[in-house]
A = this chain, B = another copy of it.
Amino acid sequence: MKLQKITSMLNFEFKNPTKIIFGKGEIQRLSKEIPANAKILMLYGGGSIKNNGIYQQVTQALAEFDVTEFGGIPANPEYSVLMEALKIIKSENITYLLAVGGGSVIDGTKFLATAAHYKGNEPWDILTHRIRAMEGETLPFATVLTLPATGSEMNSGYVISRKETQEKLSCGGPGLFPQFSIMDPEVIKSIPKRQIANGIADAYSHVLEQYMTYKTSASLQERWMESILISLQELAPKMMESEFDYDAAANFMWCCTMALNGLISKGVPTDWAVHSMGHELTALYGIDHARTLAIIAPSHYRFNLDNKIDKLCQYAERVWNISEEEAHKKAELGIQKMETFFQSIGIPTRLSNYTENYEGCAEKIQHTFEERNWILGERKNIDSNAVLQIVKMSY
């Protein structure tokens, strides 16, 4: 085993103007944060907020405002549903969007904040042409986070799905930071354990995508990423217990935000190949986003064991206290710990655990990647042939 050359910290730019209002009882602050004359469209998902008290807290805080509602944004926010919301934004002259939900509702809201000011005929082009939303070019929006996972409450990216074409595409831009996000860990009380597990796996995978690359000298960023992984591992068992634990919930919520608000990746290379492959599993089988990451990640790291050997060993050592001497063995032991961790929160790590129709899946995804001319990974070495093998290894 040859140790890789260590790359210097990369030049970077960082700006994240989102205001975070964090803690128990803070949803009532809404009324002070939104401009008094705003014409608000309040967006939410399947309606669970009506059963857990969050809807009541939000509408009470907004009693003095002009509010229109749009519910029913599904997980993996669907383009055709969002187009209905866009009609309302235009017909009602909406001036402010308020997302009350998790990553799907917030991502959908970001797309709408962009689409509201888009001049073209077909808003889907924003995604296919990856048109970045600049400051001042979007409808202002804010969020009340109800499901920690994606970090969307404090970043400027979003992912939208389109059933019609089986596509799932991402976009973003500096105009898409929420003006503010209210994060009350109490909202976690009513989240089903399956979604909590997904949130943990999602945040954990976000860190892995930014961490498991080639080694750089950015030692603070690496330690911060390891800190999030360790914190998630520590809080996960408490989050899976039936009794609500505010301390664990608060840590969970803040870890999810910090995992993907742009900070930890500054100065380091990032991968994101696991997400690209994972998105295809969601598009093909409807598997929860977070679970697709847990399916793909272990195979991706095994396939790239040599390319990622330094960081895989560092992960094994610092995150799991594995003292094994031989590098390949150590890296493999770390990957096994990763699998065990996902499984410990009820997330199986093989495609065949989710569907019987996995044969041919790898070829389909390979074909999609070929069509899009996608070459992935921090070394730009994951071509469609590599994708074929990685997905096959995940069966």
- Residue positions of A touching B, CB distance < 8 A: 6, 8-26, 180, 217-221, 223-224, 226-228, 230-231, 234-235, 246-248, 250-251, 254-255, 258, 263, 266-267
Contacts and interface: CB of A to CB of B under 8 A. Distances in A.
A283 to B, nearest CB: 33
Contact of A217 (B17, B25, B250): B250
Contact of A254 (B25, B220, B231, B247): B220
A135 to B, nearest CB: 11
A255 to B, nearest CB: 6
A365 to B, nearest CB: 35
A14 B10 contact: no
Contacts of A15: 17-20, 180
A219 B258 CA distance: 13
Contacts of A217: 247-248, 250-251
A14 B26 CA distance: 13
A22 B12 contact: yes
Contacts of A22: 11-14, 266-267
A254 B222 CA distance: 13
Contacts of A11: 22-26
Contacts of A251: 9, 217-220
Given A15-B18, A22-B266, A217-B247, 14 more contacts: A8-B247, A9-B250, A11-B24, A11-B25, A13-B20, A13-B21, A15-B20, A16-B17, A20-B266, A23-B267, A217-B250, A218-B250, A220-B258, A254-B267
A38 to B, nearest CB: 19
Nearest 8 CB-CB pairings of A with B? A11-B23, A217-B247, A223-B227, A15-B19, A17-B17, A9-B250, A14-B20, A220-B231
A12 B20 CA distance: 8
Contact of A219 (B16, B21, B221, B234): B234
A248 B8 CA distance: 10
B267 A250 contact: yes
Given A254-B267, A267-B250, A14 B8 contact: no
Contact of A23 (B10, B18, B20, B26): B10
A281 to B, nearest CB: 30
B223 A231 contact: yes
Contacts of A25: 11
A8 to B, nearest CB: 5
Contacts of A9: 23, 247, 250-251, 254
A16 to B, nearest CB: 7
A263 B24 CA distance: 19
A267 B249 CA distance: 13
A218 to B, nearest CB: 7
Nearest to A23: B11
Nearest to A232: B220
B231 A227 contact: no
A246 B217 CA distance: 10
